[in-house]
Amino acid sequence: MEKNTGLGDDETILKKSTKGVTFLMFGQLFGKVLTFLLNNMLVRFLSPRVFGINAFLEFLVSTTLFFSREAVRLSTLRIKTPRATENENDTQDTHGPVLQMALNFAYIPLCIGIPLSLFLIGWQYSNLNDYFISLPYFRLSILMIWLSIIFELLSEPFFIVNQFLLNYKVRSQIESLSMISACAVNFAMVYLYESKINGSGATLHNVSKQEGIAILAFSVGKLAHSVTLLGCYYYDYLTKFAPTKQFTVIPSKIHISSGTTPFYLQSDILQHFKKVYFQLCFKHLLTEGDKLIINSMCTVEEQGIYSLLSNYGSLVTRLLFAPIEESLRLFLTRLLCVTSTKNLRLSMEVLINLTKFYLYLSLIIVIFGPTNSPFLLQFLIGSKWSSTSVLETIRIYCFYLPFLSMNGIFEAFFQSVATGEQILRHSYLMMVFSIVFLANCWIFISYYKMSLEGLILSNILNMGLRIAYCGWFINGFYKNLFAGSHNASFLVNFKNFRLISVISCVLIFFNWYLFGTVKNFRQFTFNLILATVLVIFILYKERKLIRSYIKREDTLDVKGV
């Protein structure tokens, strides 16, 4: 049986991370398909105004959770065994204290989240439109949202332990169950009200109550998600961890040896947490800045349109890119705890291959996204959205996706290897990027009246700056480690990409000249054939890389037997 230590060698970490991508990807796929189906069923019942306020409530939840827990999640990955052991049998002696260290840190999010959630919800509630405050059940909905935040933060200790042990399967299963409960509750409340209570005619069809029920359904769904999350994680703890008594769910002092002072929080990890937290504040302002801007500069209807674009337009990004980025961050952080030459070369190889994969997928999105996305989207939305600009805006949104995805893996690398001083330096730079982003938003949205198109363009420029900085950091990181070595050259690994880029440019002009924006299934089918041919050509040009990856996986499986 495999030891559940999470402290294996580089090959074990790579294998766990590779499998972790699969678990997270399928978990994301299941959740997004479920959400996708739910939105398609609800979009015909609800107006853009309701989608807008639900997006606002989702923003409150995500903002509070991010500022409460993200820095802890990143910092605890750097916890190391307090003492080096030469005997493999000593691993179990230090395994318990390491997990207890991680769990102690996991209570910081709750300490931050309770006051932060009260402040954010109270502040935003006072600025809401009187129309929404007067809706039936709206205050109850706000209470449900706050409770969902608290319950989700209570599950954080269990999440941190499973993350440290790279237990991707457990996490994906629990999150999938939580999504099912949230979607089931949300849809059931809206559907039962629409089919059993809300009727036709002025006396029966109450628009105000209909919108109040829809918002309450969303809030209760979020609470169901959090309660399910906490319940499943606690059950997993009782069945797998509690019998071994390696750690307790209550924070407790760590006793390493008789010659050391007991402590709750490891000092170097605590210092790293403070620096990461400072940096993440500015990162979140940039990453979620579009939501901050849209709440202040755009109407509620435009917020609903942008929410729809985020759900549909970034589907590929969240299904495929997000699991890869998270697994990369966990893999690099654990791998580079020991900066041996072998580990450094492996990290560089993984990063190069992932970058190439992202570039190829970005090419496909840029070529076929703007021409096909309006045609696909028009079948997914009802008549209430026909008068909006969503079909035109999604074409521009497609150009934003490659920047969003590439920034994800570059910043995942930076967060995994940067020192405390480098993180602080990056934080100051993020302040500058924040100012540039806000200035661009004012210019494009307020001055040039570009609305959502201006917001998307501001995001593209923002991501471009962040990619440039992280690219410069990555180049310097490996250049210093492999000075004078040909293995550090990134350009030689991208010769196939340059050829495929030229072919892709030809495809763009050819496709646009023939059809422009796709208007029927015949044109869509032709685009699908072109995309398939391009994918086959990419696979052919990169066949050696694919074979080497398959061979490595087979080797790892044999070693694991």
The CA distance from 75 to 64, in Å, is: 18
CA dist 6 and 476 (Å) reads 30
Is the distance from CB of 402 to CB of 457 less than 8 angstroms? no
Within 8 A by CB and 6+ apart from 48, the residues are 300, 301, 304, 305, 308, 384, 385, 388
Gyration radius of the chain over CA positions: 25
Strand-pair partners of 497:
none
Q: Is 480 exposed, middle or buried (0-12, 13-18, 19+ CB in 10 A)?
A: exposed
Q: Average pLDDT of 9-24?
A: 60
Q: What angle do CA 71, 73, 74 make, to 5 degrees?
A: 65
* Whole-number pLDDT of residue 17: 61
Structural contact between residues 278 and 427, judged by C-beta atoms closer than 8 angstroms: yes
The C-alpha atoms of residue 327 and residue 172 are separated, in whole angstroms, by 13
Please count the other Cβ atoms lying within 10 Å of the Cβ belonging to residue 443.
Answer: 14
- Measuring CA to CA, how many Å separate 427 from each of 202, 327, 446, 451, 537? 56, 23, 28, 29, 41
Residue with the larger pLDDT of the pair 197 and 419:
419
- Hey, what amino acid is at 70? E
Residue 353 CB contacts under 8 Å (≥ 6 apart), including other chains: 545, 549
Query: Where does the pLDDT of residue 524 fall: very low under 50, low under 70, confident under 90, or very high at 90 and above?
Result: very high
* Structure tokens, 29: 């796929």
For residue 552, the model assigns a pLDDT of: 66
Q: Phi/psi class of residue 352: alpha, beta or left (left: φ > 0; alpha: ψ in -120 to 50)? A: alpha
d(CA 232, CA 146): 20
pLDDT tens-digit readout, 63-120? 899 999 999 998 998 887 654 444 444 444 446 688 899 999 999 999 999 999 999 9
End-to-end CA distance of the chain: 10
Q: What is the pLDDT averaged over residues 360-381?
A: 88
Instruction: Round to whole Å and give the CA distance between 535 and 146.
Output: 46
> Which residue, among 252, 296, 283, 1, has the nearest Cα to 123 in the 3D structure?
296
Residues 6+ apart with CB under 8 A from 319: 25, 28, 29, 32
pLDDT at 523: 92
Residue 2 has a CB neighbour count (10 Å cut-off) of: 8
**Residue 263 bridge partners (DSSP):** 254
Is residue 115 a contact partner of residue 192, using CB atoms and an 8 Å limit?
Answer: no
Q: How confident is the model at residue 286 (pLDDT cuts 50, 70, 90)?
A: low
Determine the longest span between alpha carbons in the chain, in angstroms.
80
**Cross-strand bridge partners of residue 254:** 263
The torsion angles phi and psi of 259, rounded to 5 degrees, stand at -90, 0
Taking the C-alpha atoms of residue 381 and residue 388, their distance in angstroms, rounded to an integer, is 11
Instruction: Provide the token pair at 39.
Output: 């939105």
CB contact set of 350 (below 8 Å; sequence gap of 6+): 14, 328, 331, 332
- Cα-flanking dihedrals φ and ψ of residue 254, to 5°? -95, 125
Poorest-pLDDT segment among 203-217, 242-256, 347-361, 388-402: 203-217
- Four-point Cα dihedral 318, 463, 275, 334, nearest 10: 50
Residue 403: which of 353, 441, 348, 457 has the closest Cα? 457
Tens digit of each residue's pLDDT (9 = 90 or more) over 393-448: 889 999 999 998 899 999 989 988 888 889 889 888 988 988 898 899 999 988 89
Cα angle value 87/91/5 (rounded, 5°): 140
pLDDT range class, residue 322, cuts 50, 70, 90? confident
DSSP letters spanning 138-181? HHHHHHHHHHHHHHHHHTHHHHHHHHHTT-HHHHHHHHHHHHHH
Arithmetic mean of pLDDT, 160-170: 87
pLDDT grade for 27, boundaries at 50, 70 and 90:
low
Q: What is the pLDDT of residues 456-488, one digit of tens each?
A: 999 999 999 999 999 999 988 888 776 655 554
Upper half-sphere CA count for residue 178 (Cβ side, 13 Å): 23
d(CA 409, CA 93): 35
Question: Average pLDDT over the chain, rounded to whole?
Answer: 81
Confidence of residue 296 (pLDDT cuts 50, 70, 90): confident
Q: Find where tokens 């996490």 sit.
A: 171
> Whole-angstrom Cα distance, residue 293 to residue 72?
27
Cα→Cα distances 517→143, 531, 561, Å: 45, 15, 53
Q: At residue 237, does pLDDT exceed 80?
A: yes
**Nearest of 82, 265, 86, 12 to residue 160 by alpha carbon:** 265
